[in-house]
Amino acid sequence: MFHKEGHKIIFITFVIIVAAFLLVDSVITIAWLRTLVLIALLVLLILILQFFRNPKRQTVLNDKQVIAPVDGKVVVIEEVLEKEYFKEKRLQVSVFMSPINVHVTRYPISGNVIFSKYHPGKYLVAWHPKASEENERTTVVVENETYGKVLYRQIAGALAKRIVNYAKQNHRAEQGADAGFIKFGSRVDLFLPLDTNIKVALNQKVRGGETVIAEM
């Protein structure tokens, strides 16, 4: 199953690959070179298909828990000053996505979307300390009565050139549901209440829609 954000790219890539296959087969006469080029084209197609895959996840709905919004590795767990929305200290948990990870963004909690904003910006590498404030990004805040307010931020990286955000202010969010997509790698930051109980560790690999990041 592939994400809808990849349908156009997958179709165009497939057409180009097929055309390239036919051209290479008729133009390159050296057998080993022709085989090498054909394999390279096939690998490219497989990489594109893998990048836009959208596997189903078994989300256990729980208003007392925050789940991972994306697949990847936990690279930050620290207390920080969140400057855009809360303007006070929060616990930040950041998940870095490599190009081979699933890049679907999922809602970390159920509730009402009370804030959603896009920011144009730079394309610093995703692990850069200033990426959260200077890169292209979207900021979304979801609130429910049990957990309170959770902010998540999609951040573009050096390769990511398009962030897709489906969260609209005053809309209802369902934990684990599709909230957007980041094309070609990046990271997502979560900003949580200071009294939350973090359930992950640095360098831990997480699965979007399933791994519990924190709970009350």
Find, among 126, 127, 180, 128, the residue nearest to 158 by Cα: 126
Quickly name the fold that domain 65-215 has. Glucose Permease (Domain IIA) (2.70.70)
Find, among 209, 95, 205, 103, the residue nearest to 152 by Cα: 95
In the predicted model, residues of the chain with pLDDT beneath 70 are 122-134, 157-161, 184-185
pLDDT of residue 213: 98
**Most distant CA pair in the chain: distance in Å?**
68
CB 192 within 8 A of CB 74: no
**Global confidence as pTM:** 0.84
pLDDT of residue 168: 95
Ordered by start, the domain boundaries in the chain are 4-51, 65-215
Tokens of 52: 């836009």
Helix axes 7-27, 31-51, angle to 10 degrees: 180
Q: Could you give the CA distance from residue 67 to residue 80 in angstroms, rounded to a whole number?
A: 20
pLDDT of residue 131: 59
CB 36 within 8 A of CB 61: no
Tokens of 100: 């081979």
pLDDT of residue 136: 83
Tokens of 197: 């109980």
Active-site residue list:
186
